[in-house]
Chain A
């Protein structure tokens, strides 16, 4: 009994880690897979949804870059889309972009953002961005980091963006999102307020997100992918494995994604990224991504909710995971206690963590039972 249940669990775990393989099957096509860095990459363009902008499939996330040389190198390589925001380095990032593209403004597309707030502040934010960027308009203006469907469909936000368009300050508008992307994209598809969506999208994400991206793209929303490298990494920690190009190719092989804006800080990195244009995933890339996936597995719970509803005893173990996140991540014992305090379960965390019929599997490979044990410890400490 024990063996067969563990076997089933392991089978499901193996299946989850094989998701990557399923995703990538059928991708080994005839396009070149070699992606050598060089002076002239093969430029690949796509149309950014209903905006009609012809953008290179690899853009540049300028965010953490402080060196104009890197931005200039990206431009020289033929990259034509640059993503920044007023909050990056307190506006310094936009300033650098403005200086670099002075005299070249008509040759590039600039995307920047603004936070939600009253009209006075948001207008002030846009005007400051334009001054720093040394331009009269931005090509794409996004609400920065929306979290809920209500925000995506908020007519006041939409009306403000329409004003920005009418005043000639923004050509196209949209939003960015770092969590609940599938839900937000579906809402955006429904309300049709947005021209562009900047979302986290990489090889670790779910099929659900991929489907939401497909629906949004079909509705004419231009999809810009960020966090394409799944959180960054240090080569040294991964035995010198460098899956940067593979991760980028993986995202771009989905033609519903118009372009990716990997965050880069050096000339070598942007050359490496640019070289992926016009290439496709190779078997070797797939291996590299699988190794990277293994490296990332089990490192952190992102509360994606993808593991809900798999417990045969109906234990809402998602709450345990959430409590651990609050306790260990945010150091907020009160929130952790509240989450655990409201949990009505058929068995305790201690029983749960030893339960042989547990089918809880994290698609990212997190050890769910270990997390539940941890929740039990938190509960024990709090009640002691």
Chain B
């Protein structure tokens, strides 16, 4: 009945035209159509949200009259666009831009009684929840949740969190968890949307998962250009001294491609790379089927890679058979 067309606006006009033509139809049928129309109108913003959600003036998300007692604003708000972010965070702007940065706002608050005691707040509009999570995951350092937003990180002088399309960084010059948490709660409440975290987070098997270790990369997953974008998560190794790669715990990864063919091509490219730089084993566990290989990567250790649909799934750096069992559990979570 409501046949989709190319654009949401066209659909809306089509609906309105249709609405004008229904005069004379039985009242019940008209009512039903009104209800469907209402349902569609309610659903429209949800379906279009990732690309065309209305732009919020970031300054309205900052604590203002609702600042914790004893605090006042001393600098800002300063708004940065993708053209000016370099002025604020120098070369690190490239990181934000790679995650789809739209704009940000920066402000400094000061404790009235202790001027040296300051708190800096940055709110970054990353366009969508996936990117907000992604940039958060690159800054979070360990699992120290601060109880705000969809996920957060708290230490003595910083509080990071993401909610919806926003990534928020709060830095304090002195140890001040209470004021940071109050400001974070205020900002989070003002963001106030109901997005859920990226669904891929739940695909990683929980057994052995290192809490707070899941990261999203918009490009260069595992340090390889050809793997493109995807997720990785660290797993606890019983023997930390047995790490195959210095500085790197064993991990599972999920590379996401536009099509199964692109995923298969990447599987082949990766295999060729490992064959050249490391070693590809003659056989692969049968359970993984033909679209899989096993080998040894000089920088990731023992490696198993499997293609499933649009995805490449892999286990890297595990010792013995542990990688195989983790990967097997991972595959079962992918539909």
B90 touches A178 (CB 8 A): yes
For residue A232, give the distance in angstroms from its CB to the closest CB of chain B: 6
Q: Majority SS of interface residues in chain B?
A: mixed
| Contact yes or no, B81 A329, CB < 8 A | yes
Q: In the bound complex, do residue B245 and residue A92 qualify as a contact, i.e. CB atoms below 8 Å apart?
A: no
Give the distance in Å from the alpha carbon of A99 to the alpha carbon of B141 in the complex.
14
Evaluate whether A89 and B224 lie within 8 angstroms (CB atoms) in the complex, with A68-B248, A69-B248, A100-B247 already known: no
CB atoms of B224 and A61 under 8 A apart: no
Q: Mark A56-71, 1 if CB is under 8 A from B, else 0.
A: 0000010111111110
How far apart sit A121 and B247, CA to CA, in the bound complex (Å)? Answer: 28
Contact pick for A64, options B79, B92, B298, CB 8 Å: B92
Task: Contact check, B299 vs A266: say whether CB atoms are below 8 A apart.
Answer: no
Interchain CB contact under 8 A, A92 and B138: yes
What CA separation (Å) do A73 and B138 show in the bound complex? 21
A66-B138, A90-B139, A332-B79 as given contacts; A73 in contact with B92, CB under 8 Å: no
Q: How far is the CB of B162 from chain A (nearest CB, A)?
A: 14
- Which chain A residue lies CB-closest to B174? A121
Residues of A within 8 A of B83 (CB): 300, 328-329
Are B95 and A99 in contact, CB atoms less than 8 angstroms apart?
no
Please encode chain A, from 89 to 124, with 1 for each CB lying within 8 Å of some chain B CB and 0 for all others. Answer: 111100110011011000000000000001001000
With a cutoff of 8 Å between Cβ atoms, the chain B residues found around residue A300 in the complex are 83
Contact indicator A263/B91 (Cβ below 8 Å): yes
Docked CA distance A66–B299 (Å): 14
Residue of B nearest to A179 (CB): B87
Known: A73-B299, A331-B79. Contact between A68 and B215, CB under 8 A?
Answer: no
State whether A92 touches B225 (Cβ < 8 A). Answer: no
Tell whether, in the assembled complex, residue B79 and residue A92 are in contact, meaning their CB atoms are under 8 Å apart: no
User: What separation, in Å, do the CA atoms of A346 and B24 have in the docked complex?
Assistant: 69
A227 CB-CB contact with B under 8 Å? yes
Contact between A328 and B86, CB atoms less than 8 A apart: no
Count the A residues whose beta carbon is within 8 Å of the partner chain — how many? 45
Give every chain B residue within 8 A of A331 (Cβ-Cβ).
79, 81, 103
Chain A residues, CB < 8 A from B89: 87
Contact with B along A266-277 (1 / 0, CB 8 A): 111100000000
The answer to whether A267 touches B84, judged by C-beta atoms less than 8 angstroms apart, is no
A330→B84 contact, CB < 8 A: yes
B binding-site residues for A, Cβ under 8 Å: 78-81, 83-84, 86, 89-92, 94-95, 97-98, 103, 116, 138-139, 141, 158, 160, 173, 215, 217, 219-220, 222-226, 245-248, 298-300
Given A265-B219, A267-B224; 4 other pairs, CB 8 A cutoff: A68-B248, A102-B247, A329-B80, A330-B79
- Which 9 pairs from chain A and chain B are nearest by CB? A99-B247, A69-B299, A67-B223, A68-B247, A329-B84, A70-B223, A331-B79, A266-B220, A69-B223
